[in-house]
Amino acid sequence: MRVAAARAAVHAAKEKVKIDLFYDVVSPYAWLGFEALNRYKTHWNIDLHLKPVLLAGIGKHAGTIPPAMKPNRAPYLVKDLLRSATYFNVPLKFPSDVFELMFGKGSLIPSRFLTAIGLLYPALLEAASRQLWLAAWSRDEDITSPEVLAAAGLAAGLTPETLAEVKEQMVQPVTKQRLKAHTDEAVGYGAFGVPTIVAHVGEKPALFFGSDRFPILAQEINETWMGPEPGVENAKL
């Protein structure tokens, strides 16, 4: 208790390190990174900014080929994701049609939904993002459908009235512009996929890609990596 209190006191006296997390809910690896960073908000001296983006837009700018499109890598990704989900204690289950989720229907609609929530009710953005990942990557639901979006929004804390506001906000130019701005911002930092984490420390922002770079991120911001669930035993989402 004394060590924790001392650490908290030191953090309170230091300026928080701004961390940008660029993510897209069609990416299961982004889910793992998202959960880890949110768990560390009370353990690291950070100011976390959640920024939904369009993974397809980042890939187009960077000229990257989706890993699942590489013949020798696709089978590995299935095994790696299941191992990683167990490590991070995230209830990930593969949807019945991964390619339809990621490349057929895509993420424009859910990304605009989250962007609208970020504009109107930013305190609910974390919960809404998590609910969409649970829908797509745990329950095999269509996150482009109005019914699934509504259920996710309500589960995250929206009311029927505020949900209606969010739905209206989704099609507004400011929402489309915000989503594009976040995507362009990630590209500007050098992003080529998600999750992309940018730590604003020192003279130049430091970019980290993937859900396996947290020990190095911790070193960069002078913090300690304590595993995927700091201070938590047997937690379930």
Domain extent listing, the chain: 68-172
Q: What is the pTM of this model?
A: 0.90
Q: What local confidence, expressed as pLDDT, does residue 203 receive?
A: 86
DSSP string, the chain: -HHHHHHHHHHHHSPPEEEEEEE-TT-HHHHHHHHHHHHGGGTS-EEEEEEE--HHHHHHHHTPPPGGGSTTTHHHHHHHHHHHHHHHT------S-HHIIIIII-SHHHHHHHHHHHHH-GGGHHHHHHHHHHHHHTS---TTSHHHHHHHHHHHT--HHHHHHHHHHHTSHHHHHHHHHHHHHHHHHT--SSSEEEEE-SSS-EEEESSS-HHHHHHHTT-----SSTT-SS---
- Whether the per-residue pLDDT at 1 is higher than 80: the answer is no
More confident residue, 65 or 196: 196
Average pLDDT of the chain is: 92
Tokens of 234: 């047997």
Separation CA 21–CA 199 (nearest Å): 9
pLDDT bucket at 43, cuts 50 / 70 / 90: very high
How does pLDDT run across 146-184, given as a tens digit for each residue? 999 999 999 999 999 999 999 999 999 999 999 999 999
Gap between the Cα atoms of 108 and 39, Å rounded: 27
Cα distances (angstroms) measured from residue 177 to each of 52, 54, 86, 172, 227: 12, 12, 37, 9, 37
Give the CATH fold of the 68-172 domain.
Glutaredoxin (3.40.30)
198 DSSP β-pair partners: 20, 207
Name the pLDDT band for 9 (thresholds 50, 70, 90). Answer: low
Predicted pLDDT at 182: 98
- Tens digit of pLDDT for each residue in 77-130? 889 999 999 999 999 999 999 989 998 999 999 999 999 999 999 999 999 999
Lowest mean pLDDT among 8-22, 49-63, 137-151, 189-203: 8-22
Measured over the CA atoms of residue 167, residue 171, residue 174 and residue 180, the dihedral's sign is positive
pLDDT for 62 equals 83
- Nearest 10 degrees: Cα torsion 8, 14, 20, 25: 10
Q: Evaluate if residue 235 carries a pLDDT over 70.
A: no
Tokens at 233, concatenated: 């035993």
